[in-house]
Amino acid sequence: MTARIASAAARKVMDRIAAPTTGMNGNLAALTAADTQPPIPVGADQIRTQNVSADLLERSTSVRYPAVSVYCEKIVNDLSEKFRSFSGRVQMTIELRHSQDKLQGLQDALELYADSITQMLDAGRGDWGDGMYYPGGYEVAVGTVKSGGKNFMQAAKITFQIEVSRS
């Protein structure tokens, strides 16, 4: 049952990221100033539901950046509601990797993409259906720049919890 909860939660997050107006790309357009170069929108083929390292991903498939990975890190069934088979929370992670050939501007671009995701989460508080509820709140961890991708690569992990109640 826990595997189905994890994959169902990942699908819910994927649907929210890909939403045309309230998803990641819709927020990117809103965050970009009129006088600056708009960021590259994220296509459906750039969003994955896997927890896979960047170097392994680059060796196994063709990767376009920015790349987004959605996965469940932890499932906690604390039985907070009696007589339910599952009532607890799932800890979800959206890992965002961005790469470019120049070091300058890499972190700014990564932060812009991360801001678009956090705005999506801020606007998505409440009932997500199928017994899932997002109460709000998240944590963003920005990693160091490493070699990889187009030359330089940097990642940000956005971690948040979804409350789940299922019979």
Query: Could you tell me the pTM of the whole model?
Result: 0.91
User: What are phi and psi for residue 49, nearest 5 degrees?
Assistant: -110, 65
Each residue's pLDDT tens digit, 37-84: 667 888 888 888 888 877 787 778 888 899 999 999 999 999 988 888
Q: pLDDT by residue (tens digit) across 126-154?
A: 999 999 999 999 999 999 999 888 889 99
Measured between its terminal Cα atoms, the distance across the chain in Å is 11
Mean pLDDT of the chain: 89
Residues 118, 124, 130, 135: is their CA dihedral positive or negative?
positive
Give 97: exposed, middle or buried? Use CB within 10 Å, 0-12, 13-18, 19+: buried
List Cβ neighbours of 62 (8 Å cut-off, separation of 6 or more): none
Q: Which domains are assigned to the chain?
A: 2-166 (3.30.2000)
DSSP string covering 32-59, please?
S-TTSPPPPPPPGGGEE-----HHHHHH
- How many H-runs (helices) and E-runs (strands) does the chain carry? 4, 8
Long-range interactions of 40-44: CB distance < 8 A, separation 24+: 40/66, 42/17, 42/66, 42/68, 42/113, 44/18
- Angstrom distance (rounded) from CA 100 to CA 153: 7
**Weakest mean pLDDT among 35-39, 105-109, 120-124:** 35-39
Place of tokens 């990767």: 63
